[in-house]
Structures are given as structure tokens and as C-alpha cells.
Chains A and B, each alone.
Chain A
Amino acid sequence: MPGEATSSCWSCGTMRAVHFCSSCGKVQPPVPVDYFTFFGFPRKLNLDTSALEKEFYALSRRLHPDVFGQADTRERSWSLEQSSMLNDAYRTLKDPIKRTEYLLRLEGVELEEQSKQATEKARATGELKKQVVPPDLLEEVFELNMHLEELRIQKKLGEDDPALLEEIGKAKLSLEEKYEALFNELKTEWNNWDKSVDNGTADGTNDDRRRILDKMLDVLNRRNYVRNLVRDVNEALEN
């Protein structure tokens, strides 16, 4: 892996590990590595978050700028860069979705922006945003949108229809279940991915890996779509 390439310590000349000299313990200039490598983890998606946290705390104790309060300017600036990378890496890897998205980007997969921010941006700039309705949801979404429209009209008129609210509530529940199910679907792909990593890339599994990545992207997109729907429902109910 690229980050494990060793070179000699700037301070004592011994061969070093990624962040510090293994001999004298001095902080080293940051090397551009991916977040998995930064923590010394394989590029796998099933990740023991308590081990990650432990490692994060241990590295923080050695890399944080507070530890370099009395060090020279050069070490202070390396510490700043190293610890910002540590924090960025930890933030990304501890969250299962961010971790998956990060891996997809590392593997060269372009992500479809489905975030609220992207939606607002599209709204403000007037540019068309791709919102592909997952086929298995077409009917449900169509019905839900009709209900939501009805709700808006009723709210405007100051009316209250408990039956409609119940319908929407049911739809919301079903969407939330779907949201959970999609996460489980994602985890299945994680397992597939991790297996392919264990098997190594040498044995002609590149097509397999591509297929797993595409599948994960598809699950993420559907999941984001459902999340946005739930958000819309919540907004409609609150307003």
C-alpha cells in the first residue's frame, strides 16, 4: 500500500512508520494517504468502530497540536496537518454511510448528489437535478405525493382529515422500514466487498468488484431517495 512506503526519519534517520518515527517517536511530515491507510486498516467496509475510536484517541494523544505547544514551527505545522487529517479520516470512517461513499470515491465511482444541499442548490440555480425514482417505489411515491398534495390543500383551508393523516403516517412507516432494509442490503454488499478484498485483486475478480461497487452505489441512491421522501413527509406534517 502506498502509505506504508517507509523512508527515514527527518530527526534520527531510522526507518519510520507512517506518522512517527518508530525509533525516536518524532512526528513526521504528512504523506498523502487514504483514510484507511492512515489508520493502518485494510480497505474494508466492515469496521470495528470501537477499535477505530481507540486508535483515534491513541493517535490524537500523539498528533494533536496541543502536544506540540513547545515544539518548533516545523513540527507544529506537521502536527496541525497530521491531526486535521486524523480528524477528517475519523469523521469519515466512523459513519457507515460516509465510509461507504468514501470508498466508492476512492475506487473511482462518481456519486450522485442526493443531499438536501444539492436539492436546494438545484432549486436556487434552476438547474435540473436527476431524481430517478427507484422502480419498486414508483407506485408508492405516486400515491404518497397525491396524499401530501391533499394535505397541503386541507391545511390551507384549515381542515383536518384524520383518515388522510393516518394514510400518510402509514406510508411514512413503510418508508422508514424500507430505509432500514436498504441499510441491511448495503451491509450485504459490504460483506461481498470485504470478501473480494480478502481474496485479493490478482485472481481476475475486477469485474466482480466493479459489480459490487455499482450495486452499493445503487443502494445508496435508493436510500437517499427514501430519506428525502421521509424528510418531505415530516416537513409536510410539521408545516
Chain B
Amino acid sequence: MATDYIVGIDLGTTNSLVAYMQGDSPVVIPGEDGLNLVPSVVALDEKNQIIVGNAARRYLIETPERAVYSVKRLMGRGVEDIQDELKLFPFQLAEDLHEGEVLRIKIGERTYTPPEISALVLRQLKRNAERFFGASVTQAVVTVPAYFNDAQRQATKDAGRIAGLNVLRLVNEPTAASLAYGLDKKKHGIVVVYDLGGGTFDISILKLHDGIFEVIATNGDTHLGGDDIDNLLIALALDDIRGDLGLDVRRSGEAVQRIRKAVIEAKIALSSQPSATLDVDLPGGKKYQREISLEVFEQMIQRIVDRTVGPCKQALKDAGLKPEQIDEVVLVGGSTRIPKVRRLVQDLFRRAPHTDLNPDEVVALGAAVQANILGGGSEITKEMLLLDVTPLSLGIEVAGGVTDKIILRNSTVPASATQYYTTQVDGQTNVAIHVLQGERELARDCRSLARFDLKGVPPMPAGMPRIEVKFLIDANGILRVSAREQRSGKEAEIDVQPSYGLTDEQVENMLLESFDYAEEDFRQRQVIEARREADTILTALAKGKKNQAWQELTSDERRNVETLEKALVAVKDGDDYHAIRGGIDALNEATMRLAELMMDTAVSNALKGKAMDDTDLEEGLQAGHPVAKAEFE
């Protein structure tokens, strides 16, 4: 057991972390830069290398079209779902997207699906852990917002697979937080976890009893968080800049990202100061400054903070509890540092919330605890067990486009329901089933999860087959379906078409080893191309030495060229691209005059009516000159 590390990962909208259980306590594993938080930012650098985390952040400002953030908002969603996000986030979609297809986001000239981008973040965390342990890490527990639907969960699991991680369990973020929180002392009673992060809001109510963490109700909003506050402040700044400075910088990615950075700093400052200053150097030399008082800030965010009230009340109602019955309130997520949020929580649940654990880290720490439990447990976790619920009702579409709910929200998972189907036409061998998730009465108002085609029903008169379909929501909150025709006992074949997900085959093709290969391929290709270029210039030089122009060079020039020639020969068969490239450039530079002289000779010979010697001007020295050679940009 000890040899296989299972890590806990918080894959956040803004920041991600990896943690593991060190003895009796979970700890966060820092990155190479010594920092615990890995910003969920992915960028492509000038050489099309993938950059993740803190190092990627500068690209948001320098080359915003080559960087992407807050991708979690797009997980498991279709192009028709994200129109609101597109107004607020600089996501650039691939041009050839079709409705119903999994989104693809442009980064530079390349396109990636949200699970692939998340996989790049996960891979970074995996590498951090591997560097830390000095061993490979292939198993993880990954957290998701409690209110994530099936498609969003599946997309997260896919991301893990693409990153080369076997995701042993998806754990709901607030539940994970409660695990970290409930670790040190034996606790009993009703605990509320209020989790307002960068992009998602969750509320979970748990009953703690002798190490059992039983979720009674959960609710939330998967598109509500600190990002929304940032966007409000950005809109304010953009308005100001247009009004006061007469500049419309909305389309300048660079300007918007600079404003975004300043806004986030101001927001953070306002959690401990009565006012903060926005201070932005705009591209083009102008400067934007503005003071924001806490009062103005709190008025601005009122609407956003208030959006958390509805889910809290619904969760209480579903749990059948009154605020007085709550024993403890735990705050999770960076946005709960905002004093106004804390006051709201205090008013709602009528008690001061706990803030003793770092709200940025508590989810990852809890994921590490769950990883430990799944790994067989230790002295401290052996009595611990998490009983979580499904956040949304599962339904199937019946006649008239109505949703028939078969597993109600807040049911403890794993949960199952069995439905019976028959045929309408004699000899019918296929039955179509439409599975939905959501609370609304009509199918069109619910989230379409998948359309299943039950195939291979034995041909019988209409109404005769009795097909038993079992819907099972597993401990990850992900749906599994199996079917059997009861009269023949035949397993029906199920053809799943996820409405918003990747097929297994697509995931298979995305495995990040292929990314790794692509990068490796890229480096090798670079080396091979440089080597070829070196050969070309060396051959041309060999010919040039036979030309009379060679004799026209000074002896210093000749010596210099020959030294550089030897240097290039020495490195060209190695794997160091930069050495070869440098050698080529130096030699090119040194042979510039030789090339000119040869050109002159060729031209004067031509003027003299001599046939041009084809060895003189064939591709060679000129062709190798770096002026014409563009790098990737």
C-alpha cells in the first residue's frame, strides 16, 4: 500500500492544489516554485510549449489569445449553454463547432476541449506530486462542486484519464472540506458547509455521527463565484475608462487582463481595508486610477452574494431543518474571505462560521483524507465514512415531453431505480430512452444527459417484451445503465450517446501521453530540421571554399569561418536544438561576405557572357540565412 501514492486533488476554477496524507494529517504538496496554489491557467509560449500555473499567468497579459483560465466553467457544457459566459470571459471557440458537439477552445493556433485543458492542469499537479515523492503517481481523488451534474462530473473524470490519472473517486467539494474539518476531533451534530469559490457555489448540510459523514441535503449554483465579482468590477473600470479617458479597450485582451489583475488585487485588499485603489497602466501609455470604498464594493456585490441565499434555504428545507438546529458552519473557498459574505452566512444560520482552516486549501486536504480512506485507511481514518448524495433528480422522458423522476435529488449514493419498458410495434427491436437531470417538470427544461438506444430486443408482438432497465448512480454521482429483456433473459445492448460528453474513444485519443509525445515530437522535429539546415550550409560552404571568392577573404575571416564550421560539425549530430541553431546562425553571419563575393562573381561572370555555374547559386548560403526563416509566430 505504502508504495502507491494516492493523492487528493482540488481542481478549482481559479486555483488547483494537490495534497496527500502525511501520517495523521493531510498536507498540500507545493510546486517547484514553492507555492501551494497552482493557478488553473494554461498558456502556449512562443515555441508552442504548454505552460501551466503561475508561469502561465504572465501570458494572460502579454499574449491573451494564447492563454486560458476559468475553464472549469465550460466543463460538460455545450456551445448553446455558454452564451452568457462568452460575454464575460475571453474564451475563443474553435470556428467549426457544431451544436451538441463538445466545445473546443482556441489557444494560439491550437484547439483543446475543456477536459483536455483541465487535464493539463491535472498533469502539472501530478508532476508536482511525482517530484515531491520521487515516484510516479497514477491514482487520485478529485473534487468537484457538489452541484455538478452528470456531464460535468464525467468531463472531470475524463480530464483525469487524459492526464494519466486513475480517478478513484470524485468527491464533492463541501463534503471533502467537512472531512478535513472533522478529522481532528470526534464530532457529532449538524454541520453546514458554505463553499463560495472562484466559479461555483455549493451548500451542503451534513450529519456527523461516529465518523460517518452523512450528507442530508445539498444545493448550489455551478456558475456563481469570485469570477462574477471580478467581472462586475471589470465592467465598472471599462465604463470609467470609456467615460473619463475616452478609450474603448473592451476588445483589447491585454488591457482587459491588466484590469482584471488590478481588480482582483483590489477585491482582496477590500477584505481587510476600508478602501482600495485600482491602478492600471493601459497599453498606449495612459493610466487608469480609481478608489473603491468598501461601501461601494459591498453595494456592487450585493446581488451576487444574495444569489447564495436561495440555495441555502432550499437545502435547509430539503433537510427538514431550521437554522436553529445547525450546530456548526464551515466556510470554504476564497470568496468567503469577503466580510459581507461572512455576515450573510452568520445571518442565515445564526451562528459565527468557522474560519480556522485555510479556505483555499481545505478542499484539497479533504480530498487527501478521502484518498487515504480509499487506499485502505489508517489509524485516524479507519472509522471515517462518507455518505454523499446526488444533487439533482434523475428522470426519464415520458409521453408528452414530461420528466418522470426516478431518483430524487438528495438521495444517498449509490442509488438505483428500475424501470420497465415494452414495445409499441410488432417485431420492434429498438427502444429509445431519454435520460434527464433536473428538477423541472418538462423534459425540455431539464438537462439532457444521454439518449440510450436499447438494441437487440428479441422480435415479439407489441407490448410483449418486458425490458428491465436499471439506472444506477454510483458513488461518484455518475450514472450507469444496464438493461435486460426479461422474457428472453437477454442483456439488451445499450448505445449511449452522451448529450454533452466525450465518447470513450475520443478520451482514448486524447490521452496526454499523446500530448507528451506531441511535445517530444515537436522537439525532435526541431532538432531534425536544424540538423538538415546545418548540413545544407556546411555543403554550401564546402563548395564555396572551392570558389575563387574564398581566396578573396582575409585570412582572419577564413580562420573565423573554419572555426565556426568545426563548431557546427561538432554539435550538429547532438540533440541540443539551441546549440545547433546557434552554430548555424554564427556560421551564417560569418559567411555573409563570402556569399556576397560569390554573388558578385556569378553576376560579373554572367555579364561576361559566361554560363552561370550551377554550383555557385544553388540553394546554399543564401537559403540558409536566418532573415527569411520565421520561427513559429
Partner among B376, B399, B414 whose Cβ is within 8 Å of the Cβ of A87:
B414
- When distances are taken between beta carbons in the complex, the residues of chain B under 8 Å from A125 are 399-400, 402
B385 touches A88 (CB 8 A): no
A117 touches B168 (CB 8 A): no
- When distances are taken between beta carbons in the complex, the residues of chain B under 8 Å from A222 are none
Question: B452-482 CB contact bits vs A (8 Å, 1 = yes)?
Answer: 0000000000000000000011110000000
Interface segment out of the listed B46-54, B83-91, B404-412, B561-569: B404-412
B474 touches A65 (CB 8 A): yes
Q: Give the docked Cα–Cα distance between A121 and B386 (Å).
A: 36
Measured CB to CB, the nearest residue on chain B to A67 is B385
Question: A74-113 CB contact bits vs B (8 Å, 1 = yes)?
Answer: 0000001101110110110000000000000000000000
Partner among A80, A120, A126 whose Cβ is within 8 Å of the Cβ of B474:
A80
Measured CB to CB, the nearest residue on chain B to A126 is B400
| A57 and B414 in contact, given A65-B474, A66-B475 (Cβ under 8 angstroms) | no
Partner among B375, B385, B404 whose Cβ is within 8 Å of the Cβ of A117:
B404
| A69 and B415 in contact, given A120-B402, A124-B400 (Cβ under 8 angstroms) | no
A223 at the interface (CB under 8 A from B): no
| A87 and B385 in contact, given A57-B209, A57-B210, A124-B400 (Cβ under 8 angstroms) | no
| A87 and B411 in contact, given A66-B475, A124-B441 (Cβ under 8 angstroms) | yes
A70 touches B414 (CB 8 A): no
Question: B407-442 CB contact bits vs A (8 Å, 1 = yes)?
Answer: 000011111110000000000000000000000011
Q: Give the docked Cα–Cα distance between A69 and B169 (Å).
A: 9
- When distances are taken between beta carbons in the complex, the residues of chain A under 8 Å from B212 are 57, 60-61
A88 touches B416 (CB 8 A): yes
Q: Give the docked Cα–Cα distance between A80 and B415 (Å).
A: 9
- When distances are taken between beta carbons in the complex, the residues of chain A under 8 Å from B574 are none
| A70 and B411 in contact, given A121-B402, A124-B442 (Cβ under 8 angstroms) | no
B1 at the interface (CB under 8 A from A): yes
- How far is the CB of B534 from the nearest CB of chain A, in Å? 54
A64 at the interface (CB under 8 A from B): yes
- When distances are taken between beta carbons in the complex, the residues of chain A under 8 Å from B373 are 66, 69
- When distances are taken between beta carbons in the complex, the residues of chain B under 8 Å from A91 are 411-412, 415
Describe A's contact surface by its main secondary structure. helix
B375 touches A70 (CB 8 A): yes
B599 at the interface (CB under 8 A from A): no
| A124 and B402 in contact, given A80-B414, A87-B411 (Cβ under 8 angstroms) | yes
B472 touches A60 (CB 8 A): no
Q: Which of A65, A69, A81, A121 has the most CB of B within 10 A?
A: A69
B401 at the interface (CB under 8 A from A): yes
Q: Give the docked Cα–Cα distance between A231 and B411 (Å).
A: 23
B374 at the interface (CB under 8 A from A): yes
Q: Give the docked Cα–Cα distance between A207 and B427 (Å).
A: 42
Question: B365-406 CB contact bits vs A (8 Å, 1 = yes)?
Answer: 000001001111000000001110000000000111110110
B411 touches A69 (CB 8 A): no
Can you spell out 23 A-B residue pairs with CB atoms less than 8 angstroms apart?
A60-B212, A66-B475, A69-B376, A70-B1, A80-B472, A80-B474, A80-B475, A83-B414, A84-B413, A84-B473, A85-B416, A87-B411, A87-B415, A88-B417, A90-B412, A91-B412, A91-B415, A117-B441, A120-B441, A121-B398, A124-B401, A125-B399, A126-B400
Known: A61-B212, A64-B385. 13 other contacts (CB 8 A): A60-B387, A64-B387, A70-B374, A70-B376, A84-B413, A84-B416, A88-B415, A90-B412, A91-B411, A121-B404, A124-B442, A125-B400, A126-B400
Interface residues of A (CB under 8 A from B): 57, 60-61, 64-67, 69-70, 80-81, 83-85, 87-88, 90-91, 117, 120-121, 124-126
